[in-house]
Structure 1
Amino acid sequence: MVAPLSAWPWENLGFFKYLLYGPFVAKVLYSRFHDHEDQSHDDGSWCLHLLIICALRGLIHQLWSSYNNMLFLTRNRRILQQAVGFRQIDSEWDWDNFIILQALIASMASYMFPFLENLPLWNAKGFIAVLTLHMAVSEPLYYWVHRFVHGSHYLFTHYHSLHHSSPVPHPFTAGYATFLEHLMLSVVIGIPMLGASVMGYGSISMIYAYVLIFDFLRCLGHCNVEVVPYQIFEAIPFARYLLYTPTYHSLHHTEMGTNFCLFMPLFDALWKTLDGNSWQLQKEISSKLEKHGRVPDFVFLAHVVDVSAALHAPFVFRSFASLPFSTRLFLLPVWPITFSVLLVMWTLSKTFLYSFYQLRGRLHQTWAVPRCGFQYFLPFAREGINKHIEEAILRADKLGVKVISLAALNKNEALNGGGTLFVNKHPNLKVRVVHGNTLTAAVILNDLPKDVDEVFLSGATSKLGRAIALYLCRKRVRVLMLTLSAERFQKIQKEAPVDCQSYLVQVTKYQAARNCKTWIVGKWITPREQSWAPPGTHFHQFVVPPILSFRRDCTYGDLAAMRLPDDVQGLGCCEYTMERGVVHACHAGGVVHLLEGWSHHEVGALDVERIDLVWEAALKHGLKPVSSPNKV
């Protein structure tokens, strides 16, 4: 049975909970477009202030979340090394419920205390009053209520344990609590503001400042990054009792019998609940700015597909990144801002780290080159892109990374020969460079129907196309290879066993596949070119970006991908359009390369003989095909 006041009244409303702001919006609009004869009541300004404050509170939490997830800035000063996983993200999805609750309470307060509607814009005495009341009332009140809740088995189990169920502190965790807890927190935050106003010192600026600073400090405490320099406490020792730090509060989540304060450790010190390791641990973490953190075993070097997809990074919108990417309406207003940021990043041209997870005790990280997909097809951009990929490889080599896997366009044949350029230029690399295309080929081949006897293959002379064609012809499958180059076709055909060469057929037009229902697409095709496929055709593909699903009488496969093992930890973002826990096959190929301990580089042309070997190794380590295997 659910404990009283533990669930939120609007828990089942989902996104429609934001309609609770509707009366505020209506009141503001009404007051702006209608003259009031009776000015004794709220003229809409109070509701307007509430809406502005709610928006600013949400923004503060979002900015702290973005900073917390900017691993390229914060990785060396993270308090807990775990990453936030999907389960925690889903649990904290409605972290902003408390903002709605306190807006409703503030609205009711305006009717109970009409003088709140006529507060002046500024009153310097109000800031002194609200600070005094906070230190004298709110801080000790929160401390004792918080400590009492921890000491009560019933209250902790049915209410406060929800907040502590988040394994990794995050700014959104600050708002993740039961309805009853936020009712009590509303009293804590309301006493100083109401008290100062009752004394005649209240002001609009005081309310804005107190509420926003309150949220700022709550986010600071729940941030998993130590942001307070230890030098401040060494210069002013008493300052450590006036303001807590992320490290200080994180100890409360790991050692729950200590550090109960709201913002001021002074009260923990007075009542002897201060963790003795607080200052030393804070100094150790704060001093790591110039040091390298834990070195990853594996790095996947990704790239941005387009401007909208750049918003799918976890440090932008955590909830959006935790779902497969799709174009949403809310992306349109921020598109110009995103494009401007990308221009700055292109100018700075720094590879950045944006996510990580752990598998079998090994750290896997995703680095990204700040380049959009279209740039890879600009001839003048080729040298610059290769330079940044090379820098990322050398950086990984210097850090001691064991395997670095290149994402789709970062290993483009025309760009760098599938990574061959870097291996040849730096023959003494300790890090293994992997394009992962062997597993990509294996995934595509194992997704084909068992009884297939003919396939149509575009992009037939690419690395993947060549390997797929040679593999299939050995299985006595007829392959219609779309290419205008007879020379390149013949070169591939000669690689096949003599008795299998007849199964490779060169075609130069899409019309040649009008009777073939199995298409393997390795080159982007237009809706007009798709029209030559017969009804019932299934489009397998290894092209970036994926082709448009134009034909309703045909089916379209996703890009080659595999599902990570069940014991993966800390995975909290989806890889582009992939489902949760699913990564592109080239990413998975690098993971397998690491887990198998292979010492060779996987660059350039694919070794057809290794396709089955890599496939079996992937299955052995718990990676699973996204669709049912139908090996030919």
Structure 2
Amino acid sequence: MACLSDEMLGTIMPIVVYWAYSCFYLLLGSFDDYRLHSRKEEDVKNLVSKKTVVRGVLFQQIVQAVVSILLFTVTGNAKGATDSQYSPLVLVRQFLIAMFVLDTWQYFMHRYMHHNKFLYRHVHSQHHRLVVPYAFGALYNHPLEGLLLDTIGGALSFLLSGMSPRASIFFFSFATIKTVDDHCGLWLPGNLFHVLFKNNTAYHDVHHQLYGSKYNFSQPFFVMWDRILGTYLPYSLERRVGGGFEARPTKDHKSF
């Protein structure tokens, strides 16, 4: 890895992390006692094959890589970076700004794609063919959605936070892990993402169900915009007969 520049690592590491972390969850897929949906539900409810999902994700990652290389080329490289740019306080500030920017962009774009009938039918509905989400389907989107929601959102968070290409390696790898975790379909004990973030696997699973399609738009980190704008759908996790968990709404969402 020493022969690769920060820019190149910032481009390829999120892709490597995506498939490595997805494979980790594939190995855990046999843990039926922690699944949010049964294997039968995954086979019956999902409207797209896993082969198609893999092809779609790989295409999106190619587009993201191209945009990433162009972005690094336009903004310059990290050779002139000073030590102060890598101080813990600066990095924390940059990460928080990037998280806020990414969450804000994705909330409003995501919500608009649900409320605009044309965009939902022809673009965003592709992602919702996975009624039962799983890890490597996290980035399965229509190419236009991938560009608007993920690629442009990531570029804005990079630019507005002022982070260096080196810092972006860690930020976008972390954001990738979080996104995969949100779609993994497993509620594992001791998962730190479930402890630290209200926006987690169950939260996003609620959104993928028919009753939650107009709620829980926030992704990938916080739930603030859902709470502020009244699209937050509270839920409870209950043991499912036959094993596993089920996220059930605890409030009449029709009255929102």
Aligned amino acid, residue 153 of structure 1: K
**CA shift for structure 1 position 160:** 0.3
Report if aligned partners of 1:65, 1:170 keep a CA contact under 8 Å in 2. no
**Structure with greater contact order relative to length (CA < 8 Å, sep ≥ 6):** 2
Identity %: 18
Task: For 1:143, give the aligned amino acid.
Answer: Y
Instruction: After TM superposition, give the deviation of residue 267 of structure 1 in Å.
Output: 1.9
Against the structure 1 CA distance between its residues 230 and 210, is the aligned structure 2 distance closer, same or farther, given a 3 Å change threshold?
A: closer
Q: Is the 8 A contact 2:99 2:157 kept in 1?
A: no
TM-superposed CA distance for 1:140, in Å, is 1.9
Q: Does 1:88 align with 2:49?
A: yes
Indicate conservation of the 8 Å contact 1:226/1:245, yes or no.
no
Q: Report the secondary structure of 1:80's partner residue.
A: coil
Equivalent residue number for residue 253 of structure 2: none
Q: 3-state SS of the aligned residue for 1:93?
A: helix
1:57 corresponding residue in structure 2: 15
- Distance verdict in 2 for CA 1:105–1:247, change over 3 Å: same
RMSD: 3.2
Contact map agreement 2:132 2:185 (CA 8 A) in 1: yes
Match of 2:200 among 245, 252, 255: 245
2:28 is aligned to: 70
Given that residues 113 and 120 in structure 2 are in contact (C-alpha distance below 8 angstroms), is that contact kept between their aligned partners in structure 1?
Answer: yes
Q: Sort the Cα spacing of 1:117 and 1:176 in 2 relative to 1 into closer, same or farther, 3 A.
A: farther
Is the CA contact 2:7–2:77 (under 8 Å) kept in the aligned structure 1? no
Deviations 1:333-389, CA, capped at 9 Å, x for gaps: xxxxxxxxxxxxxxxxxxxxxxxxxxxxxxxxxxxxxxxxxxxxxxxxxxxxxxxxx
On the 8 A contact 1:120/1:203 being kept in 2, the answer is no
Paired position in structure 1 for 2:249: none
**Alignment partner, residue 107 of structure 1:** 69
Q: Distance in 2 between matches of 1:206 and 1:47?
A: 10
Unaligned runs of 5+ in 1: 1-27, 33-43, 295-632
Q: Do structure 1's residue 175 and structure 2's residue 125 form an aligned pair?
A: no
Counterpart of 2:105 in structure 1 is 141
| 1:58–1:203 distance in 2 versus 1, CA, 3 Å | same
CA-to-aligned-CA distance 1:121-163 (integer Å, 9 cap, x gap): 8332442232332344221221111111100000001100000
Deviation of 1:256 after TM superposition, in Å, equals 0.6
- The 5 A counterparts of 1:301-380 are none
Distance 1:177 1:117 in 2: 35
**Separation in 2 of the partners of 1:232 and 1:219?**
11
Displacement of 1:179 after TM fit?
1.6
Q: CA deviation at 1:228?
A: 5.8
Conservation of the 8 A alpha-carbon contact between 1:56 and 1:212: yes
TM-score, with structure 2 as normaliser: 0.77
| Structure 1 residue 216: Cα displacement | 0.5
Whose Rg is larger?
Answer: 1
More helix as a share of residues: 2
Matched to 1:245, the amino acid is: N
Aligned AA (1:191): L
Post-superposition offset of 1:55? 4.6
Taking a change above 3 Å as real, the CA distance of residues 117 and 256 of structure 1, as seen in their structure-2 partners, is farther
The separation in 2 between residues aligned to 1:115 and 1:62, in whole angstroms, is: 27
One-letter identity of the residue aligned with 2:185: N
Q: Distance in 2 between matches of 1:266 and 1:275?
A: 12
Would the aligned equivalents of 1:54 and 1:99 in 2 still touch at CA under 8 Å?
no
- 8 Å CA contact 1:123–1:203 kept in 2: the answer is no
Cα distance, 1:68–1:225 mapped onto 2, change above 3 Å:
farther
- Cα displacement (A) at 1:171: 1.3
Structure 2 equivalent of residue 45 of structure 1: 5
Superimposed CA distance per residue, residues 384-420 of structure 1 (whole angstroms, 9 cap, x where no aligned partner): xxxxxxxxxxxxxxxxxxxxxxxxxxxxxxxxxxxxx
The verdict on how the C-alpha distance between 1:186 and 1:231 changes in structure 2, with shifts beyond 3 A counting, is closer
One-letter code of the match for 2:36? I
Q: Deviations over 1:91-135 (max 9, x none)?
A: 202213232222211211123212455446833244223233234
More strand by share: 1
Give the secondary-structure state (helix, strand or coil) at the position aligned to 1:273. Answer: coil
CA gap of 1:160–1:225, structure 2 versus 1, over 3 A, is same
Aligned mates of 2:205, 2:155 — CA distance in 1: 26
8 Å Cα contact 1:110/1:117 also seen in 2? no
Unaligned 5+ segments in structure 2 are: 245-256
CA–CA separation in structure 2 for the residues paired with 1:228 and 1:163:
27
Aligned 8 A contact 1:68 1:224 in 2: no
**What is the distance in 1 between the residues matched to 2:160 and 2:64?**
17
Aligned: 1:160 with 2:124: yes
Aligned-partner Cα distance in 2 for 1:149–1:88? 23
SS of the residue corresponding to residue 98 of structure 2 reads helix
Judged with a 3 Å threshold, the aligned counterparts in structure 2 of structure 1 residues 173 and 117 are, in CA distance, closer, same or farther, namely farther
CA distances 1:306-353 after superposition (whole Å, capped 9, x unpaired)? xxxxxxxxxxxxxxxxxxxxxxxxxxxxxxxxxxxxxxxxxxxxxxxx
Write the distance in 1 (CA, Å) between the matches of 2:198 and 2:186: 16
In structure 2, the CA distance between the partners of 1:193 and 1:80, relative to structure 1 (3 Å rule), is same
Once the two structures are TM-superposed, the CA of residue 231 in structure 1 deviates from its matched residue by 11
Mapped to 2, the partners of 1:293 and 1:270 lie a distance apart of 35
